[in-house]
Amino acid sequence: STWGRGRSRAPRSPCPSARNPIGRGSAASCGVDHPPEPFSMFGMIRNSLFGTAEVWPCRVLSKGEKDDVAYEERTYEGGMFASVELSGKPFDEALREAVLKLLKYVGGSNNQGAGMGMMAPVCSTVFPAEDGSLQHKVKVLLRIPTQFQDNPPSPSDESIRVEKREEMVVYSTLFGGYAKEADYVNYAAKLTSALGNEASFHKDFYFCNGYDPPMKPYGRRNEVWLLKKVTN
């Protein structure tokens, strides 16, 4: 697994975001304001306006700030995830394609016909080139909502895999707006610089995370995660 192994299993609890000035609701606080609902156009609109998506459980271990970059060290729970791997396309294009596949899966395109609701964020594993730009390969992950963790539906789309992932510890920084490749690259560089030599983390890949549907016009939340190297 490219996520590494965590030292201990974190308790399931919402985690606050790092100095989040960009909005309110469940996406801003990692809390859950409403129970998830089956995927539908109405559900998408409702989620975009009120932030009703379930949030990946985590625990904040520490906080820091350097050069105006605020960051947190967090432990994220393992569990069952749906994933799509794409190559040969720029990040923004590949992400749109992968997210559409995953939305169809949680919306009912599965062997149970189950509308599972959403769990934020959509997490993309990316691989930087020497110049910092992203290589044309990405793995997009969506944690399966809690109600379906023990018995995840099988995807109708054969390009989607359901897989078990281990707990992981990350360094995270947050930013707003409609995030594109250049934004993630920029904030990954800022976080790397802020951490300096004080932290040990993987440099050959990192995670780009989006919490909000496209139709949400304001209060958007995006994060870059650097995976901490865990020593036994």
58 part of a folded domain: yes
124 part of a folded domain: yes
Q: Does residue 217 register a pLDDT over 80?
A: yes
44 part of a folded domain: no
14 part of a folded domain: no
CATH number assigned to the domain comprising residue 132 = 3.20.80.10
21 part of a folded domain: no
For the stretch 137-168, pLDDT in tens is 999 999 999 999 999 999 999 999 999 999 99
197 part of a folded domain: yes
Residue 15 pLDDT: 53
- What is the span of the domain harbouring residue 63? 54-228
178 part of a folded domain: yes
36 part of a folded domain: no
How many distinct structural domains can be found in the chain?
A: 1
Q: What letter represents residue 79's amino acid?
A: G
Residue 208 pLDDT: 99
Torsion of CA 124, 128, 132, 135, to 10 degrees: -90
